[in-house]
Amino acid sequence: MTDSAGIPDATGAAGGSPEPRRGRRRRLLLRWAGAGASLLVLAGAATGWWLYRKLDANITEDTSAAAELERFERERPTPIAGGSRNILLIGSDSRSGSDNSRYGRDGGTGRSDTVILLHLPADRRSATAVSVPRDLMTDVPSCLRPDGSRTAEQFAQFNWAFQWGGAGCTIRTVEKLTGIRIDHHMVVDFGGFKKMVDAVGGVEICLKQPMNDPKTRLRLPAGRQTLRGEQALGFVRARYSMGDGSDTERMERQQQFLGALVKKVQSNGVLLNPGRLYPLLDAATSSVTTDPGLASLRGLYELVRGVRDIPTDQVKFLTVPRRPYAADPNRDELAQPDATRLFQRLRADEPLTVAPPAESDAPEGADGRKPDAARPGEASTEPSPAGTATGPAPVPTFTGTTAGMTDCR
């Protein structure tokens, strides 16, 4: 077949010219490429959904604590500052499970080896972590035991609350002690702590002097150290063979370690590295027991998203102001009025600052401390910016550190 000019038609005999055949091949290749891309997208979505479901299912929900808190809702503090959040972080010394049994005999219960009240203000521009000494003497309310019986309300050592009634009893004790309502809680045991440290590739700390603690099998030289799971656990647990054997030094090491951990997690080496981020998420979600409000990957993500950009010098660590208990110097009691002032600031979501204990060359006083040095947790005040009685109220400064002070120099 020819057109009017005598040129063969493109659809003529012999099956047509090569051009239409190449066009058909291109269209076929494009369809295959589109199908392949669709399969990749679907596979990626399916993988992402599977990973999300896996991480989400890792988290253990603490329904018993939620039920106990609901039972005593009328006794709990009323939230004052909208938008702020108070999270109670509990480190359990439970020996149950294969990861924890190596640290001693399982008595069926565990005490709170570490308790930290984390306050996140409404503007999320800072974070304040307050350690509660396990040896602090305080009022522990009547709590529900695992066997269904109830304890009597009593004045006792703080960390007994967790052994008697788990997280629910500890939360009620903290609320009674501070007047601060706890919005969420997390419980982590020894094994979970080690997993999270290993997931970020270890945490760097600096030692001013060597450490040798036979009880935790920890031997470290002075200087810059990167601690991984077992060493990190020994570092934050060591007590009786280190320094003066006090819980004060142990809490200071815990705060130092947590500050270094915050810096590590905020670094690009973790948050922007999928190879490290997923193991961290997997370790974190499989290691924590939380209240129902945080018992999902979404709940944890919302919490982390609100704090991930806080500058390290605004992540503050301090200990509840306390002094030796009058009836037993091996125990602690609140130091007033500093403790009340701290609790009031946190409850009302008002700012506070922290600073290391003041150094002084003056001779020690009769109480065994230098006159210009602050007691653990002691508060002072910064002058009003306006410098007059009508200016802004002074911001109290408590003895403590920030995550920005953990640099190795």
pLDDT digits (tens, 9 = 90+) for 78-134: 988 788 999 999 998 654 444 444 444 444 456 677 899 999 999 999 999 999 999
- Residue 158: which of 325, 338, 317 has the closest Cα? 325
Q: What confidence score (pLDDT) does residue 4 get?
A: 47
Mean pLDDT of the region 160-167: 94
130-162 burial, b at 16+ Cβ within 10 Å, e below that, comes to: bbbbbbbbbebbebbeeeeeebeeeeebbbbbb
Q: What confidence score (pLDDT) does residue 369 get?
A: 34
CATH superfamily ID and name for 63-358+370-406: LCP protein (3.40.630.190)
Q: What confidence score (pLDDT) does residue 304 get?
A: 78
Mean pLDDT of the region 344-351: 95
Is residue 375 very low, low, confident or very high in pLDDT (cuts 50, 70, 90)?
A: very low
Mean pLDDT of the region 380-404: 69
Q: What confidence score (pLDDT) does residue 10 get?
A: 46
Mean pLDDT of the region 290-300: 87
Mean pLDDT of the residues in the chain: 79
Q: What confidence score (pLDDT) does residue 185 get?
A: 95
State the Cα torsion 383-386-389-394 to the nearest 10°: -40
pLDDT at position 42 over 60: no
Q: What confidence score (pLDDT) does residue 313 get?
A: 92
- SS3 of residue 322 by DSSP: strand
Mean pLDDT of the region 248-254: 86
Q: What confidence score (pLDDT) does residue 301 get?
A: 77
Q: What confidence score (pLDDT) does residue 66 get?
A: 94
pTM exceeding the 0.85 threshold for the entire prediction: no
Q: What confidence score (pLDDT) does residue 98 get?
A: 46
Is residue 249 very low, low, confident or very high in pLDDT (cuts 50, 70, 90)?
A: confident
| Residue showing tokens 């403790």 | 339
Which of the residue ranges 206-210, 236-240, 388-392 has the most confident prediction, judged by mean pLDDT?
Answer: 206-210
Strand pairing class (218-220; 211-213): antiparallel
- SS3 of residue 44 by DSSP: helix
Report which of residues 21 and 281 the model is more confident about.
Answer: 281
Q: What is the identity of the amino acid at 317? A: F
User: How is the chain split into domains, by residue range?
Assistant: 63-358+370-406
Which of the residue ranges 18-32, 39-53, 290-304 has the most confident prediction, judged by mean pLDDT?
Answer: 290-304
